[in-house]
Amino acid sequence: PSYPDLHGFGRRNLGISPDEARNDMIYQMGALTAFTQSKKLQHVKPHGALYIRAGQDPLIAEAVARAVATVDQSLMLFGLSGSALISAGQHCALTTVAEVFADRAYEPDGSLVSRKKPGAVIQDPDQVVKQALNLVKERFAVAVDGSVMRLERDTICLHGDTPGAVNLAVRLRHAFDDADVEVLALGKR
């Protein structure tokens, strides 16, 4: 689910209220559930600007978490590691999934660098692999200012619209295999 922002792919902050965010989340999860009648939803990950805002704004985070809990208390809620969304999901007694990013730059506070800034998406494949291995094996990332921050993680994201994403995914899988990192589907441990 994301902001109703088709032209901006959900990446523009629409500044909606917590009630509007909750209602939009319930609507979108309901629509997705209708499309997937033969399969049960497993998790919810807000997309784009809604994901970012829910990670920073406790009121929006709470609205998103309450929406997920209203639709199905058994759904897992993905959120940026250490974010308000993870806290709100835990407050709503949801299973939360702390997410880190292989292909995104981090600010010193653990937030993602805005896509409006240069270098927000890591373009160098070697750097993507290095960051992913650091996050998965050592639980840390290096922020844009050079500081090191510890990040808990349950899952790692590689954006499908990152240039060369398919090749990056193959490289990451080989790097994980070489580093004896077991790759599992969520909930399969």
- pLDDT tens-digit map of 53-72: 999 999 999 999 999 999 99
Which pair of structure tokens corresponds to residue 30? 């309901």
Which pair of structure tokens corresponds to residue 73? 């208390």
| CA–CA dist 165, 102 (Å, integer) | 11
| CA–CA dist 137, 71 (Å, integer) | 34
| CA–CA dist 76, 44 (Å, integer) | 6
pTM, full prediction: 0.85
What pLDDT is recorded for position 189? Answer: 61
Share of the chain above pLDDT 90, in %: 79
> Mean of the pLDDT values across residues 102-131?
96
Q: Closest Cα partner for 62 from 91, 82, 35, 41?
A: 91
> Mean of the pLDDT values across residues 32-39?
80
Q: Is residue 95 packed enough to be buried (19+ CB in 10 Å), middle (13-18) or exposed (0-12)?
A: middle
| CA–CA dist 58, 87 (Å, integer) | 9
Contact 24, 4 (CB under 8 A): yes
